[in-house]
Amino acid sequence: MADGGGIRVGPYAELTFDAEGDPDRAAQAEVARMEATDLLVFAHGWNSDRSAATRLYDRFFAPFPGLVGSGVRLGYVGVVWPSMRFADEPIPDFDHPGVRPERAAGPELDPGTRRALGVFWPSRGPELDRAAELLAAREESAAAFIEFGALVRELAGVDAVPTATAPPVPALFTEDVLEVCRELTSALARTGALPAGAVPAQGPAGPVPAGGAPRVLWNGAKELLRQAAYYQMKKRAGVVGERGLGPVLAELAERRPALRVHLIGHSFGARVVSFSLRAVPDGARYVKSLTLLQGAFSHYAFADRLPHDKGRGGALRGLQRRVDGPVVACHSPHDTSLKVFYPLASRMAGDSAALLGLDERWGAIGHDGVRAVPEARRLGLDAALRDGVPAAGCVSVDAGSVVRRGGPPAGAHSDICHAELARLVVSAGRMGR
């Protein structure tokens, strides 16, 4: 077994970053010493701790030694950054036999999620404790929901004084909390997390009876808390990529100019590796491929012009050109986290007329691939593996034939440990036999 805390391939090292993108310098030096021709750099999405990320890397990296050509010497890097997941989001095959994770049956917070939230928001213990109390009590009181909404806004950091450069706040955190919780509860029902008839119809007098609120809406309140964590993770992922991983890789490339780097990211980790492209110097050619697995960011991210605003481009406008190879975006229709819930955290204040559900404007790249990039190709997984992917530019690969397992509410979002996807990374990086 190779070094690296149980990773069965090697050489392996972990690049660890804090929330501001500052790296662990000892780990950075360890990566710089790797004897490799090609470096696989993988950033996880929402995981509660390092051990979950390490298990993911161990599973995903396992097929690679048998897939690459004889002239390729792989080095494996796992990016560890501060994120979390709720324990009610199962990861296929990750639970040890005979061991059931701690998960709450209702809207209350299970012990594992409460601990993870405490690590994610280390200075917010009292707010988290009160939010947990409200979820457990499930009072039929509009006042209780209003208090919960205020706590969530504080945790998400959207109650701070706005500035001219601050991004707009999603309407999810600014609209009437009872109506938001109703819509989120309805969305949970659409994913199968709740019975289809669980949400009472809205009456003529308003979303809830005067002075009261149905207990079932606390399921939506828990989802609102989850979205607050995702809102923070989304911002944090961009910071870690642009200010942390990107400069580390640029420095490494300057010291090791022959080293070929292949970036891989899952979920918000796809955002980490993509935003690292902002630190690639003009003309540099060390990033040889970028593979996005169920990426949790906009399908318009690489667009030069947004279809709904021709004067603006995507957040990663044109950065695919800093990859000396293809940008491969894997997507799956079985990922309900991106199909149903990603748009909730993405809609901006003022767009509340269509607050929920997937639409063309707010889709995720991991749901339907790259959009509004004219030269982008679209392939099925079988065709991509049989014929290969283009040598450069964006390509969307429908991976729904393998990325299909997982329970509600996230669906197949974390079902990414497949040999077919490892083969796709090898094909993108031109590392095959």
Tell me the per-residue pLDDT of 92-131, one tens digit each, with 9 for 90 and over.
Answer: 766 544 444 454 557 999 998 999 999 999 999 999 999 9
| pLDDT (average), residues 31-46 | 96
- The pTM of this model reads 0.89
Token pair belonging to 121: 């928001």
Main-chain phi, psi angles of 209, to 5 degrees: -60, 150
Does 258 have pLDDT greater than 70? yes
Q: Which of 340, 335, 342, 337 is nearest to 301 (CA)?
A: 342
Amino acid at position 423, single letter: R
Comparing 202 with 258, the larger pLDDT belongs to 258
Q: Which of 344, 337, 405 is nearest to 366 (CA)?
A: 337
Strands 12-16 and 287-293: unpaired
Helices (H) and strands (E) in the chain, counts: 14, 8
**Residue 168 confidence (pLDDT):** 67
At 166, the pLDDT band (50, 70, 90 cuts) reads low
Cα-based distances in Å from 351 to 91, 172, 298, 345, 346: 33, 10, 16, 12, 10
CB atoms within 10 A of CB 133: 13
- CA atoms of 331 and 305, how far apart (whole Å): 22
